[in-house]
Structure 1
């Protein structure tokens, strides 16, 4: 018998001063049985860092990446169904990144494992043609601290200022500073 996804719900109170994006966002996250709290919370972080200020170009949604390899972790599609933003979490191989690049206006990758420098050294020179690709690294100790905030129902306050993200649940707070790996 196949294991089913576990449903998590989060209410994000977002104040992103870097992008002037503010608001409350209720999200439902289907957590695959093989997914860790750390990876799921990285998807929540990626959502908070990329949710658009309005839905004129479509909403940012959680996709079915762990069920369907042709989908990212998150994506924003415009009203015609075209992919505006493709977002992967983890360490996708260079082929996946190069394949997703022409499908979307923008592609973002959020890597978070302690092995990210090794992964990055192996793929960095293979993805230089993808001009719309941005790769970020979240230090492993920060993503692990973020995982400790995971609960089936979450009320999270997310503040972004000067490239630093503070995520709190009223009891604890985690500081996350993503580092851009791709050239500007």
Structure 2
């Protein structure tokens, strides 16, 4: 019998001073059986960083579906405006995504992120609609510690740094652009 996804209900409060976006969102996120809480929380972080109130940014089936990112923004015709990946995706996957979407964003994390980028950067030079960021390991581990099945998370963004707080504690994440 296959394991089923674990459901996380989250209230996300966003105060993004860099984009002048302020909003609250109730989201339900499914955690794949093979997914860590760190990856789940980075997907929620990505939502907070790219939600803009148009209600077109959605979580996808992610790990369960090979042809979908972690999040995407599609218009009413189904055209993919934004494709958002977390982790260390394969360069072929990213090049394919760049052909399908108006903008592709990667939030890379983990101890091997620098090595992954060193091996991948040259292969992605022609991808003009790709933005790659790295998240510090210590910060993403602190973010993972905030995970819970029912969460209220507050995201404050200013000058490329995100402060996340909940009843379990807080984490600060400096987002560094790699390209």
Q: Does TM, normalized by the shorter one, top 0.5?
A: yes
Cross-structure match for 1:6: 6
SS of the equivalent of 1:80 reads coil
Q: CA deviation at 1:65?
A: 1.6
For 2:107 and 2:174, the matched residues in 1 are separated by 12
Equivalent residue for 1:175, pick from 165, 172, 176: 172
Q: Deviations over 1:55-111 (max 9, x none)?
A: 1xx511001121110000000001111001000000001101001001111000001
1:122 has 2:119 as partner:
yes
Cross-structure match for 1:19: 19
For 1:25 and 1:18, the matched residues in 2 are separated by 19
1:142 has 2:139 as partner:
yes
For 1:65 and 1:93, the matched residues in 2 are separated by 14
Q: Deviations over 1:108-140 (max 9, x none)?
A: 000110110111010000001110000000011
CA RMSD of aligned residues (A): 0.8
8 Å Cα contact 2:142/2:170 also seen in 1: no
Unaligned runs of 5+ in 1: none
SS of the equivalent of 1:66 reads helix
Q: CA deviation at 1:181?
A: 0.4
Cross-structure match for 2:49: 49
The count of corresponding residues between Structure 1 and Structure 2 is: 179
Cross-structure match for 1:95: 92
1:113 has 2:110 as partner:
yes
Cross-structure match for 2:58: 61
1:133 has 2:130 as partner:
yes
Unaligned runs of 5+ in 2: none
Q: Deviations over 1:151-183 (max 9, x none)?
A: 00000111001111000003411100111001x
Equivalent residue for 1:83, pick from 80, 83, 98: 80
